[in-house]
Structures are given as C-alpha cells and as structure tokens.
Structure 1
C-alpha cells in the first residue's frame, strides 16, 4: 500500500472551498500512486469552532457525499476528518470512503481533549476498522493515540495500519516526534498521523504529520507549523511479519504472568 497524508487546514467556514481543496489533494495523491489518503482532524469543517452547537453544521453531509464522489473518480480510499451533527449530539469524527466512493465507516473520537471538546462533543464508544484490499486499517483521532491501550486494542484486533487524523497544537510537538514512533514500534504496525497546519482561534498547529513503521522508524514526515502539503510512503505488510518473527510483543504479552 502507498499511504498519503494531506497536512493542511482546508478553508474553515467555507465547505465548498474546502471540498475543492480536498478534491485537488485526492487527485494529486492518486496521480502519485497512493492507495489511501488521510486528511486532518476537522479538515472539512474546521477543528476549533468556538460556539459550535447542534444545528451549526449545515451542508456537511452533502459535502461528505462530494468527497466520496472525488474518491470514486480518483479510485482512491479516503479518510476525512470532520465534525458531525448527529441526532444524539455533535461528534468529532473521521469518515472512511473506499476507492469506489462508498462509505465504509464512521469513527467517533473516544478520548476528548480539553474543556472545549468535552463541552462540545459526545465521546464515541466503539472502534472503526475497515479492510482495504489485503490491508486491515483501524481509525483513531488525535488524543486517542496518546493512550497506548487504544492503539494496542487495534493491534490485537489484527490491524496492519492505524490512521489518525489530528489537530496537534503547540506546545505538544513531542507527540508527533516521540509518541507516534513508539506506538508503531510497541505494536509492530504502521501508523499514519495526519496533522493540521496553520492556526485557528487561540491555537497554533505544529504540523509534523508522520508515517511510522513497525520498527518505530519514520518513513515520512511533513514540515512544521504553517507548512501544508502531501507526504507519502510505501508500506509493506511483510515488514510487520519480519519484525514479529524474532520477538512479537503481542504474542509475548499474552504469555506473561501476573498481569
């Protein structure tokens, strides 16, 4: 699989312009040979939207349908970060489209970060795992990845790759630089962590979108802060098998006593 991450910010408050930007990124990733493209947390709607309340996300479902159409036209799977206005309340979500444009699943962020998220969104309660060809892909969002238990649950469920739309802000760049490689290494999987760029009210994003491999190696990393763009890496499932052949953390953990 060739994985692509689109570091950027969309055009907060302008769904049409954001969908057009997303479609351009989808086309560019497809022309670059990507099989899966991940966008940041809240890319479609903006992440930090002070005062966001139920009824404040008109047009999002129509915009998601347009993203699915762009995925179908490019023959590319897409994970889109967006806020959703659901009957039960607002959700911080990632929507997964297959290369035929069909929606494969919606993940609702489980680990809400900070006072604003906790006051605005309902926390999710379930994982989202999809199959793309021979690849098993799990979806998390931002703060979720900082809990080793959530990534370990994905590995135990047999995923090869975890993708995580994120809105990592200053001064927390240590998450991209240190935590993401460790999460990949300790589970011997691939991890794609796709961050926003630029700023929103009261927040500056650190960039540093990262694709990490099962040895904890950085396969690709975007620039910091304001830099927008596309990064890609070729992923080989055989690398997971090679890492686990000598010592499998998952297998050996299952045999430990006293846990």
Structure 2
C-alpha cells in the first residue's frame, strides 16, 4: 500500500511520483501494489471536465506498463474517468501480465465533499478474482455501507481492497469501520489511504491490513510511506469454519 501526498489537480506529476513510490515498493518484494483513491487528480472536482481521463485510457496504459515491468498485480487506486455522460471515480485492477481484469466505479457518493455535484455513481459489481483468490474492491465512503460489503462476502470474497482519501478529522472512524467490516465478514481488509492536504482537507493516512479476526497486521502513520503485509487466504477458511456466520444467517427474517 502506497500512501503518498497527491498533488492537487496535476495528473502528470502524480503519475511520476506514483512510479517512484512503486519502484521502491517492488524492491521490497511486493507482489501486489495498492494506490489510494483519485491518485491522479486528488479532489480537484471543479476541473474534472478538464483533467479527467477519457475512458481511463491513459491510466490503463500506465498501470499496464507498471504491472508488466515489475511482474506485479496492481490495485490502481481510483482515477477520475471521463464517460460520455459525466465523470466516475473508478478503480482499475491489473494482473501481472498488464491486463485490465476489473473496473469498479464508486457507488456511494460523499455529499460532504460535494462528490454528488461532480461525479456519477457507478453501476459495477465489486467482486473480482486475482490469482485464483476471490476479492472485492471498494472506494472510501463505501465502507460506511455494511450491506454493500456483505454482498461481496456472501459471493465468496476473501480479500476486500479499499482505496481512500479519508480526512484526518474522522480517521478514528476509518480504523473502526474497517475492523468491523473485517470481523463481520471474516475476511482480510487491505485499505490504502492518502496523506497530505488539498485546499479544503487534510488526509489521515493510517493505511491498514486487517485479518479475518479483526487483528491489525500492518498500519501506516500520518506521513508518506509504503505499508506492507503478507496475506494468508487460508486463514479466511479457518475463521469461517470456527465461527460459521454465513451458515447461521437467517435470511428469511432480514
């Protein structure tokens, strides 16, 4: 997880900085790279018509190059993707061959930061498969909707990737919500948050990897850094057998 300070409204500079950080990360032996939300533009929402990426074409080429060059999987955070009907906040996932294997546009738009005024909500499913492991991807505000996360867990997801620009004043909510999502869904949560500030917000970092018991495996601070952890998806099976939450659900009642 690469939590870095995103330059406001400057895709070219952010791409350069992301590549520098990714180069450092792969030198540690990382096999999966995770970037934060809107890492190309930040929350420069009023200029999205000017700086958004048409059909995500540029970001896909860049992330494909990175994945192939370093033989890594990339959870490409999210980028502002220009469609004919507007802009969406879109996560891109690349495999080690540089192939785009998943796209997800943020479903829940955060009115407190005016997302609903400048972005269109997504219609995509969150689930995907990476290296034969069932996964799902979510973006920031999505984690406040447990029923949306549970949908992917019921579909078999073992690892939930979350990318965010979560503000520092509510960083305690970030940790608590993510731990709750891991515990109730008995899955890993890998959550990458940006650091730094833009003209309106200061962001909290504290990227996290949480295991299916809700234990924090790795945690970042409030500055730029690479946060690493090892995931054992067999632990998900073990926890789900120990406490059979999905067997004991009573869907006829709720």
The answer, yes or no, to whether TM exceeds 0.5 is: yes
The normalised TM-score by structure 2 is: 0.92
Secondary structure of the residue that 1:172 maps to in structure 2? helix
Superposition misfits of 4+ residues, deviation over 6 angstroms: none
Residue 174 of structure 1: aligned partner: 172
Residue 202 of structure 1: aligned partner: 200
Q: What's the offset of the Cα at 1:213?
A: 0.6
- 1:99 is aligned to 2:107: no
- 1:19 is aligned to 2:15: yes
CA RMSD of aligned residues (A): 1.7
Secondary structure of the residue that 2:168 maps to in structure 1? coil
Q: Distance in 1 between matches of 2:120 and 2:45?
A: 16
Aligned length: 251
Give structure 2 stretches of 5+ with no counterpart: none
Most deviating of 125-134 and 156-165: 125-134
Q: CA 1:250–1:21 in 2, change beyond 3 Å: closer, same or farther?
A: same
Aligned match for 1:8, one of 4, 14, 31? 4
Secondary structure of the residue that 2:18 maps to in structure 1? helix
Q: CA 1:210–1:117 in 2, change beyond 3 Å: closer, same or farther?
A: same
Deviations 1:9-51 (A, max 9, x none): 33333323222222222222222222211111101222x1141
Q: CA 1:257–1:87 in 2, change beyond 3 Å: closer, same or farther?
A: closer
Q: What's the offset of the Cα at 1:258?
A: 2.8
Secondary structure of the residue that 1:198 maps to in structure 2? strand
Q: Is the 8 A contact 1:26 1:71 kept in 2?
A: no
Q: What's the offset of the Cα at 1:103?
A: 1.0
Residue 127 of structure 1: aligned partner: 125
Q: What's the offset of the Cα at 1:168?
A: 0.5
Deviations 1:115-171 (A, max 9, x none): 510001011122232222121111110000111111101101111101011010031
The normalised TM-score by structure 1 is: 0.91
Q: CA 1:257–1:56 in 2, change beyond 3 Å: closer, same or farther?
A: closer
Q: What's the offset of the Cα at 1:256?
A: 6.1
Aligned match for 1:51, one of 46, 49, 74? 46
